[in-house]
Amino acid sequence: MQAILREHIEKIVPLTDDEFTFVLSHFTAKSYKKRESLIREGESVKYAYFVVSGLLKLVYNDTSGREHIVSFAMEDWWESDFQAYYTQTKASMSLQCLEDTEVFCLSFEDYRKLCSGLQKMEHFFLEKAIGGHIGSQQRILSFITANAKERYEQLLKRYPSLFQRVPKALLASYLGVSRETLSRLGRS
Amino acid sequence: MQAILREHIEKIVPLTDDEFTFVLSHFTAKSYKKRESLIREGESVKYAYFVVSGLLKLVYNDTSGREHIVSFAMEDWWESDFQAYYTQTKASMSLQCLEDTEVFCLSFEDYRKLCSGLQKMEHFFLEKAIGGHIGSQQRILSFITANAKERYEQLLKRYPSLFQRVPKALLASYLGVSRETLSRLGRS
């Protein structure tokens, strides 16, 4: 697991062995079973998670109890209710396992210590935050400009493995279409 | 203008006079007239812009030539085609003035120099990128979960001044509703 985290960070900033030992001391490794929750709506958000293996869904339950998929997170991906994490407020979303999942957990306090203790890591998180911001802007753009068919095709092109790993009903929720529409798109 | 930039940065990181002089040396002040373009689709994106006064629209033109509003930017706001800026590729969007606008321009090269020259500024940009990421996630959430009326009310609550300053047709485009729907919402 450690090698995967190191490789992930070193795509952006190279680290010496001593630096990686320092970095690693801020993380905790954890394993979760399918259907377990990492974040529950209304509770504190202690950690941001780096996914080593497995698959998570970030969901928002509206006032009528309907579940909406905000995002999926798989290997090499960071996930949290970032608003609650960075502002240290209660979760407005839930994070749950769609598969057995291994993660590295980083508490907000350790995140801050890591940034102030090693400038390279502040640079690393800046690059990740920019990536997240760009990704979100692209998704907004697809909501504004693309129809359901185009959103389906964009997702299939970017993350083909999701179509094998995620139940159709969840994919439909992520795309903001009905399950019937998704089935029709999948056949065309 | 300089005092506004300094105040903006010092909301996140305090600066000495010497540090601010160093920071300021990376920026160029510019003024644009209403309807002028700062970024044109298909061209290089040289700068990220900090808005000192005025109002900008970031727009995406789809293949049928229809204009979609991705975001507005007013005082104290940063704007660019961030994907193109950070990856140094051509713009997929355009940035235009809705009012006479004063900005500070930061080239990508100067952004990088600023981050490596002063760790405080890397921290500043990390905080801004996180803010941008959170803001985008909230907007995605509103697209998934909220209907047009709720999106209208969220926007009115967060940015009441936009309703005085932005033509109705552009607000409708931002919200992803027809102008008729927006008029109906405005009356209710």
CATH number of the domain bearing residue B14: 2.60.120.10
Give A24→chain B minimum CA distance, Å. 21
Residues B131, B76: contact at Cβ < 8 Å?
no
Q: In this structure, is residue B39 part of a structural domain?
A: yes
Residues A85, A44: contact at Cβ < 8 Å?
no
* Residue of B136, B170, B177 to mutate when probing chain A, most A C-beta within 10 A: B136
Task: Spell out which chain A residues touch chain B, with contact meaning CB-CB distance below 8 angstroms.
Answer: 60, 62, 68-70, 82-83, 86, 115, 119, 122-123, 125-126, 129-130, 132-134, 136-141, 143-145, 176
Give B135→chain A minimum CA distance, Å. 9
Give A161→chain B minimum CA distance, Å. 23
Q: In this structure, is residue B66 part of a structural domain?
A: yes
**Could you give the number of structural domains in chain B?**
1
User: Which residues 6+ apart lie within 8 Å of B70 measured at CB?
Assistant: A137, A140, A141, A144, B58, B59, B60, B93
Residue with tokens 């991705």: B70
Residue with tokens 């493995």: A161
Residue A188 pLDDT: 56
pLDDT at B180 over 90: no
Q: In this structure, is residue B48 part of a structural domain?
A: yes
pLDDT at B183 over 90: no
Query: What burial letters (b/e) apply to A23-33, b meaning 16+ CB within 10 Å?
Result: bbebbeeeebe
Give B63→chain A minimum CA distance, Å. 10
Structural domain of B31: 2-118
Q: pLDDT category, B54, cuts 50, 70, 90?
A: very high
Q: In this structure, is residue B142 part of a structural domain?
A: no
Show the low-confidence residues of chain A (pLDDT under 70).
188
Q: pLDDT category, B33, cuts 50, 70, 90?
A: very high
Chain A partners of B69 at a C-beta cutoff of 8 Å? 144
Q: Inter-chain contact B176–A140, Cβ cutoff 8 Å? A: no
Is the ipTM beyond the 0.90 threshold?
A: no
Q: Inter-chain contact A137–B62, Cβ cutoff 8 Å? A: no
Q: In this structure, is residue B171 part of a structural domain?
A: no
pLDDT at B188 over 70: no
**Per-residue model confidence as pLDDT tens digits over B108-150:** 999 999 999 999 999 999 999 999 888 888 888 888 777 778 8
Average pLDDT of span B4-13: 97
Q: In this structure, is residue B7 part of a structural domain?
A: yes
Residues A108, A118: contact at Cβ < 8 Å?
no
Degrees to nearest 5, angle at CA A165 with A12 and A77: 15
Residue A167 pLDDT: 87
- Can you spell out the DSSP letters for A49-72? EEEEESEEEEEEE-TT--EEEEEE
Average pLDDT of span B72-86: 94
Residue B62 pLDDT: 83
Q: In this structure, is residue A18 part of a structural domain?
A: yes
Residue A141 pLDDT: 83
Residue B167 pLDDT: 87
Q: In this structure, is residue A158 part of a structural domain?
A: no
